[in-house]
Amino acid sequence: MVRRAQPERTCVGCRKRAPASELLRIVAVRDEAGHSLRPDPRRRLPGRGANMHPDPACFALAVRRRAFGRALRSTEVLDHGALAEHVDAPTTTSGQPDRARVASRVGRPT
């Protein structure tokens, strides 16, 4: 039996490599307010994609490092509200992840 190699991608949050099937693909979609980040679990949306573990800790790291803009080669501010809901990451009113709540979920001090 021949085993095929699975494609590997790098998570924009934690920067660890993993099989593409374990990562969530994210794309920037143009809407009336500009560009927003959308999850693409079926990996079918057109355009350049970024990959991330579907984990609130990786989401928080990616937002803090501003990794989505670099990975998607976008100079615009990207709204990540829909992505935060999909990943189930707690956010503050500023739209930024609440570090204390995310850290408590993964057992890290703030």
- Paired tokens of 106: 């993964």
Q: Where are the alpha helices (DSSP H) in the chain?
A: 56-65, 67-71, 81-87, 99-106
Please compute the mean of the pLDDT values over residues 98-108 and round it to a whole number.
50
State the Cα–Cα distance between residues 20 and 62, nearest whole angstrom: 17
Question: What pTM, to 2 d.p., does this model score?
Answer: 0.74
Rounded distance, CA 13 to CA 58, Å?
A: 4
pLDDT level of residue 92 (50, 70, 90 thresholds): very low
For 94, phi then psi, to 5°, come to -80, -10
- Residue 21, helix vs strand vs coil: helix
